Structure 1
Amino acid sequence: MRCPFCSADDTKVIDSRPAEDGSAIRRRRQCDACGKRFTTYEKVETIPLIVIKKDKNRETYDRSKIESGVIKSCHKRPVSAEAVTKCIDDIENTIFNMEVREIESTTIGEIVMDKIKDLDQVAYVRFASVYREFKDVNTFMDELGKLLTSNSEKR
């Protein structure tokens, strides 16, 4: 493993343990050259998941796209980085537990919306406004109405 600080090739594993969700191995490493420590995560390589976009083009699944959307929707909200990471992990686990080789981007979007609703309601509305491509205020108000209705039903 290459050191992210000095780019030396020689590092040693100091500690290994399962990651919090059990889907990866967390390894603490130390560089033999500079002595700095860093963490790596080892995951089982799976068959690549193909995402079918709205225009029917296909591309490989990219976690960073989900991360970007969730982080943008949570911008300046009282949501911890840990909660965001857990939400993204939950989204990814839901997707991969479906055990499909191809998935529609709309299905991913709905999963994200479902998970983000529990994370922060303002983040949910922000994500929904981009994902559902609200054309006007009425569409936006309809989505808010659904959110308010589901909140009152939970009480």
Structure 2
Amino acid sequence: MRCPYCAHEDSQVKDSRPTEDSTAIRRRRQCDGCGARFTTFERVQLREVGVIKSDGTRQSFDRRKLEQSLSLACRKRGIEQERLDQLISGIQRQLETSGESEVPAARIGELAMEGLRALDSVAYIRFASVYRDFAEARDFEEFAGNVRDAGRGD
């Protein structure tokens, strides 16, 4: 593993353990070159999933993009990183086990919205406002009203 500090090619694993949700292995490493310590995470990838964007272009699924989008929606909401990681891992697992080699980006967005809805209503509305591209404040108010009304029905 390349050191993020000095780019030396070799490092030693000092400690390995599964993450709390057992979807990854956390490894503490020490660089053989500069002696710096750093952490890596190793995840199982069942299959390569392609994403079909709304404009028809295709690209590989990138967990980091999903993580950035969800983190932005959850910003300052007090949601533990572990819960967010579980949501992201769950979405990725659903995509990899779906049997499809390519999925529309809209499907990923819907899975993210489902997960956020269960996690935090404000983060859900934030994500939806970008994902659904609200054009006016009225669109935002209507969507938030639907979320509020759905919450009363539970």
Say which SS state the counterpart of residue 99 (structure 1) adopts. coil
How far the C-alpha of 1:46 sits from its partner, in A, is 4.1
**Map of 1:117 onto structure 2:** 117
Say which SS state the counterpart of residue 28 (structure 1) adopts. strand
Superposed CA RMSD:
2.0
8 Å CA contact retained: 2:46, 2:97: no
TM-score, length-normalised on structure 1? 0.84
Distance 2:45 2:84 in 1: 23
How far the C-alpha of 1:147 sits from its partner, in A, is 0.8
Written as runs of structure 1 = structure 2, the 5 A alignment for 1:71-110 is 71-110=71-110
Say which SS state the counterpart of residue 6 (structure 1) adopts. coil
Distance 1:66 1:10 in 2: 30
Distance 1:95 1:51 in 2: 10
- Aligned positions, number: 154
Written as runs of structure 1 = structure 2, the 5 A alignment for 1:1-155 is 1-154=1-154
What do residues 57-89 of structure 1 show as CA deviations (whole Å, max 9, x unaligned)? 211111122112112212232223333333222
* Change in 2 beyond 3 A, CA 1:65/1:85: same
Q: Which amino acid aligns with 1:117?
A: R
Identity, % of aligned pairs? Answer: 42
Say which SS state the counterpart of residue 15 (structure 1) adopts. strand
What do residues 65-123 of structure 1 show as CA deviations (whole Å, max 9, x unaligned)? 21121122122322233333332222222322323211011111110111111222111
Show structure 2 runs of 5+ residues with no match.
Answer: none
* Change in 2 beyond 3 A, CA 1:74/1:135: same
